Structure 1
Amino acid sequence: MRALIVDDEQHVREGIKLLGQWDEQGIEEIFEAENGEEAIDLIQQYKPAIIFTDMKMPKMDGIQLLEWIKNNQPSSKTIVVTGYDDYHYMRKAIHFGSADYILKPIDPEILNHTLESAVADWKKEEASRKKDKSSHQLMNEMKPVYRDRKLTHLLNSQEVNKSLYEEFSFHVAQNYEVAIVRVNGKTIEAFQGDRDLAYFTVLNVINEILSEKQCGIGFRYLSNKGEIVIIFWDKFDQGDEILRCIYDALKRSIKVSCPMALGKLVHQSSKLIDSYKHAKQVLLSRNVLDQKEQRVYIKENEEQASLTNLMDYSSSIERVVQAGEMRAFDEVIEQILKEFKETGFLSLKQLLHFEKEYQVMSHRWLKKYHVPYSVTDQIEKQIDFFFDKNGAFQLDQYIDRKKREISLFLKIVKRHSLQKNKNVIYEIEQYLQANFDRDVKLQEIAERFYLSREYISRKFKQEFDENISDYLVKIRMNKAKSLLKNSQLKIYEIANMIGYQDDKYFRKVFKKIEGITPNEYRASHI
């Protein structure tokens, strides 16, 4: 296995080489590059499994390199190492699939934990890649991908490639209609999170019915996540009926509702995108609160003409944030939802609009109160979670979740206000003193004190000149020395009292730290 370290500073590259436990992870060769351009040459030549990269470099920076790796060497696991604790860099690292994000100066414990996780993930994926190398399986996997790509291009362009006629039995017709089938999170869950298997199964059901009717073709629409598109070229008078047939077949097969919408009739292939856009509006205008058995939508719902804006309540929301009272928030939320609860109508478009505004406002709050957290921009994914298997939106559960998020935010703001007058690192040290007799994980500390693991590790070492794990051992040894002065206590009892289940391991650690065995220490102090 090979690794590559990309950084324009030589001492950083040498530091990573020195601190990394390479032999333990089975990494036999380590290469170095000063910038992205040099890195690409080495990646093409040696195909390293693990790549450490800085973000700010001359010629080609880390963001450009990560994008190139994602497109050209996606099997490599990338780990960003940077001195910039910047949300933009972190977001880009996540976007391009980085395994982790480490801040300089590098903590050996964090470095090796990250390296171990990246190697484990790479080995797992490599085993899967080897298993799937058979040419027959590869061809079967590529056929639907190729079809989806070609038909997505057809929908988005104004010309039809003649090869489509023969490859996919696509029919040239005078008229067309486009329908959208929504594949949400519940559908993916039905296949244990296997997205590709979910699409494969849903498309098989759809195309089997369309083939029998000889009226259209379905494909995964690659321009928009969570959508399957159907292009009808015949039997337009039966479009509603065929979609209901497909809906029922999918519900029987996967036990999950897949909402569908039918677009308007268009008279040439170059207008397919217009039919798609109309179907999208029909889908967005649907009432997510209704309890209908079949969620097939043929026409746009005009019950709610204008959208309600959260921003109209921004001054009220700002006041309750400043007050830090959750009860005041409850009143504002109920005021906003009053109309929707009374009428029983809430369009998907309105719901997405609410979620988008909520994300914008959350980001503004986090920035204003200097809270080092980020908000997700995956709006539809956030909402998908609250649709049940029958496709009905669980409004009360959604509101409860938002209330918990807001409550947590208020606690975070309060804690950050207190931290202005307190050194949180010394709070962490006191927490270790109080919990020395159990295995305190860095993640536990991060969640308790609302700080990142990297920040805690870096600041703790600056304050105490030791990493957290070594400091915890020191606390335990000091406690052990105190307990050893009591001749009534057995060695194994003392080991258990300070958090070691194995007294042999305790004896080994004690001798390593103190230079003598526990028995020798006891003999010299009693």
Structure 2
Amino acid sequence: MNVLIVDDEKHVREGIRLLADWEAFGICEIREASNGEEAVQIIDEYKPEIIFSDMKMPKMDGTKLLEWIKEHMPTSKTIVVTGYDDYQYMRKAIHYGSSDYLLKPVDPEILNTTLDRVVQEWKKEESERKSKVDSYQLINKMKPVYRDRRLTYFINNKHIEAELLEELGFHLAASYAIAVIPISEKVMEEFSYDRDLAYFSVLNIINELLMEKKCGIGFRYLANKGEIVVIFWDRFEDIQEYLNEIYVEIKKSFAVSCPIGLGPVEAVDNLLHSYHEGKKILLESNVLEEKELRVYTKNDNPNVEFKSLMVYSSAIKLAVQAGELGAFDELIQQIKADYIQEGYLSVRQMERFEQEYLLISNRWYKDYNIPVKSANLLEKRAMLYFNKDGKFMLENYEHRIQREISVFLKKVKKKQQKKNTNIIYEIEKYLQNNFNREIKLQEISEQFYISREYVSRKFKQEFNVNISDYIVQVRINKAKSLLKNSQLKIYEIANMVGYQDDKYFRKVFKKVAGITPNEYRDQ
């Protein structure tokens, strides 16, 4: 806590400093002022909790200072210290809310008793103030949540008492119209993914305009993630104009497009139908359209047949087997042409494409046993390719698809190379286990389901020796090991390592080892 002592007499200020037991009352800083004007500056800067003030001072006297404190620093506690036992001074001190009135010279016991009481009063009042602020903040925080819950409940054909709705600023009427505003990932980006702040900010714009028009209310629709709903109960002929204003203001404030879909005017028991119609109009809106105001009140788009990526499964399989990105070029252009007829692509079709595209991609990753990262939300993947005006950037999206296919094909190629290398080492192991008999390329080809030419070429690349020479090396190394056993005859060793003719064995051994089998054994 801080204290300010205001008196034009220095010895009085010093006396109060010395006589009070500041530490006992948790007071750590004491400042002084010689008049009211100086005191005002200190109070403005340091905001002391306790202020001792003389009544008669130059420039600004105690009465004017107390009046200023009451207006500008009402939470501070004031104690008047004066040399005049005058009823008029006391009356003014009481009028401006002083806690006590002390006479000079100040009695130490009275000073500390008064200070103790005033400190306790300040702490009690501060606690009450804090409690009120916390309660006010909690009420303000809970009010939107309560409103969102009640009005979500109301839309879903639930009965709510009229008094409860009126508390929320809602007006009962014979019929209503509902507008749907999706809060996309693009909007969340603008608020660093602080969802509460995003909803609060957008709703603030909506409800500020609607309160002025007295015809509707906006709220967070809790029955479906990522949506704001507006209910109109009046001035239906002007709704389009109001929604245009809302769209423009949101875009101007946050530099992002928030499309709006409006359902038809319905009776209270059919509100959910108006909501679904508004949402349907949004889902069927054309994402390729150049449009200044993305406020949709009806479906003006052509009745285009819904496309499925699954019909291209065979073509996709052939392109994957080709293993080159170029094999996908024509296919991508064909799919693009089929999906976009008359320059129209709906939000719903875009979502369906993403779902099927991810399903097919994951299946191919699984077929090649390649780990796949968990995909981002479908909305996130698509929303990256909408510009600030809400138009879908088709070319950029197409490039993303090409990049993802390219990454997949590279992983497949790397996997195949690794697999082929592993097969060569499996062939090597097979040769080592069967070195003592004749092994032909055809046998290896049939055993490992790869061509003879491929086996021959890849084996030499990996071991820098052809298969027949490799078998000879294995046989001679085994023979060297057996020659250390002096009990075995040379012809027996020759038979054991795959040679029926011991003379031929001796010839091969000398060619490889540089000495005869007998010389090797002697060494």
Using the size of structure 1 for normalisation, the TM-score is 0.52
Aligned to 1:206: 206
Q: Does the aligned pair in 1 maintain the 2:147–2:168 contact within 8 Å?
A: yes
Equivalences for residues 101-120 of structure 1 within 5 A: none
What SS does the aligned partner of 1:176 have?
A: strand
What SS does the aligned partner of 2:257 have?
A: coil
Q: Does the aligned pair in 1 maintain the 2:308–2:353 contact within 8 Å?
A: yes
The Cα shift of 1:274 comes to 0.8
What SS does the aligned partner of 2:178 have?
A: strand
What SS does the aligned partner of 2:261 have?
A: strand
Counterpart Cα distance in 1 of 2:301 and 2:388: 26
Structure 2: gaps (5+ residues): 1-132, 423-523
The Cα shift of 1:272 comes to 1.2
Query: What per-residue deviation string (whole Å, max 9, x for no partner) do you get for residues 294-349 of structure 1?
Result: 10001013414311211111110111112221111121111111255563221111
Aligned to 2:401: 402
Counterpart Cα distance in 1 of 2:158 and 2:142: 25
Whichever residue aligns with residue 353 of structure 2, its letter is F
The Cα shift of 1:286 comes to 0.7
Aligned to 1:169: 169
Counterpart Cα distance in 1 of 2:305 and 2:407: 32
Q: Does the aligned pair in 2 maintain the 1:363–1:374 contact within 8 Å?
A: no
Equivalences for residues 350-369 of structure 1 within 5 A: 350-369=349-368
What SS does the aligned partner of 2:181 have?
A: strand
The Cα shift of 1:159 comes to 2.5
Aligned to 2:258: 258
Counterpart Cα distance in 2 of 1:232 and 1:150: 16
Q: Does the aligned pair in 1 maintain the 2:285–2:301 contact within 8 Å?
A: no
CA RMSD of aligned residues (A): 2.3
Q: Does 1:331 align with 2:326?
A: no
Counterpart Cα distance in 2 of 1:412 and 1:157: 53
Equivalences for residues 58-137 of structure 1 within 5 A: 134-137=134-137
Counterpart Cα distance in 2 of 1:279 and 1:223: 15
Q: Does the aligned pair in 2 maintain the 1:366–1:374 contact within 8 Å?
A: no
Q: Does 1:235 align with 2:241?
A: no
Aligned to 2:184: 184
Q: Does 1:153 align with 2:166?
A: no
Aligned to 2:283: 284
Query: What per-residue deviation string (whole Å, max 9, x for no partner) do you get for residues 253-309 of structure 1?
Result: 2221110010012112x3211111101110011111111111000101341431121
Query: What per-residue deviation string (whole Å, max 9, x for no partner) do you get for residues 112-136 of structure 1?
Result: xxxxxxxxxxxxxxxxxxxxx9554
Aligned to 1:249: 249
Counterpart Cα distance in 1 of 2:273 and 2:305: 23
Counterpart Cα distance in 2 of 1:257 and 1:166: 32
Q: Does the aligned pair in 1 maintain the 2:182–2:227 contact within 8 Å?
A: yes
- Going from structure 1 to structure 2, the CA distance change for 1:341 and 1:275 (only over 3 Å counts) comes to closer
Whichever residue aligns with residue 360 of structure 1, its letter is L
- Going from structure 1 to structure 2, the CA distance change for 1:135 and 1:416 (only over 3 Å counts) comes to farther
Using the size of structure 2 for normalisation, the TM-score is 0.53
Structure 1: gaps (5+ residues): 1-132, 424-526
Q: Does the aligned pair in 1 maintain the 2:170–2:217 contact within 8 Å?
A: yes
- Going from structure 1 to structure 2, the CA distance change for 1:139 and 1:416 (only over 3 Å counts) comes to farther
The Cα shift of 1:238 comes to 1.2
Residues 135-144 or 258-267, more deviating: 135-144
Counterpart Cα distance in 2 of 1:370 and 1:422: 17
Q: Does the aligned pair in 1 maintain the 2:307–2:339 contact within 8 Å?
A: no
What SS does the aligned partner of 1:229 have?
A: strand
Q: Does the aligned pair in 1 maintain the 2:218–2:230 contact within 8 Å?
A: yes
- Going from structure 1 to structure 2, the CA distance change for 1:161 and 1:313 (only over 3 Å counts) comes to farther
Aligned to 2:498: none
Aligned to 1:373: 372
Aligned to 2:195: 195
Counterpart Cα distance in 2 of 1:225 and 1:403: 31
Query: What per-residue deviation string (whole Å, max 9, x for no partner) do you get for residues 36-61 of structure 1?
Result: xxxxxxxxxxxxxxxxxxxxxxxxxx
Residues 198-207 or 324-333, more deviating: 324-333
Counterpart Cα distance in 2 of 1:304 and 1:212: 39
Counterpart Cα distance in 2 of 1:412 and 1:320: 15
Q: Does 1:412 align with 2:431?
A: no
Q: Does the aligned pair in 2 maintain the 1:180–1:262 contact within 8 Å?
A: yes
The Cα shift of 1:145 comes to 2.1
Whichever residue aligns with residue 335 of structure 1, its letter is Q
Counterpart Cα distance in 1 of 2:323 and 2:315: 12
Q: Does the aligned pair in 2 maintain the 1:260–1:295 contact within 8 Å?
A: yes
The Cα shift of 1:416 comes to 2.5
Aligned to 1:475: none
- Going from structure 1 to structure 2, the CA distance change for 1:171 and 1:368 (only over 3 Å counts) comes to same
Aligned to 1:222: 222
Whichever residue aligns with residue 225 of structure 1, its letter is K
Whichever residue aligns with residue 403 of structure 1, its letter is Q
Aligned to 1:306: 305
Counterpart Cα distance in 1 of 2:370 and 2:136: 52
Q: Percent identity between the aligned chains?
A: 49
Aligned to 2:141: 141
| Number of residues of Structure 1 aligned to a counterpart in Structure 2 | 292
Whichever residue aligns with residue 259 of structure 1, its letter is P
Counterpart Cα distance in 2 of 1:317 and 1:240: 45
Counterpart Cα distance in 1 of 2:293 and 2:378: 25
Counterpart Cα distance in 2 of 1:139 and 1:411: 57
Aligned to 2:116: none
The Cα shift of 1:193 comes to 2.8
Q: Which has the larger radius of gyration?
A: 2
What SS does the aligned partner of 1:177 have?
A: strand
Q: Does the aligned pair in 2 maintain the 1:186–1:388 contact within 8 Å?
A: no
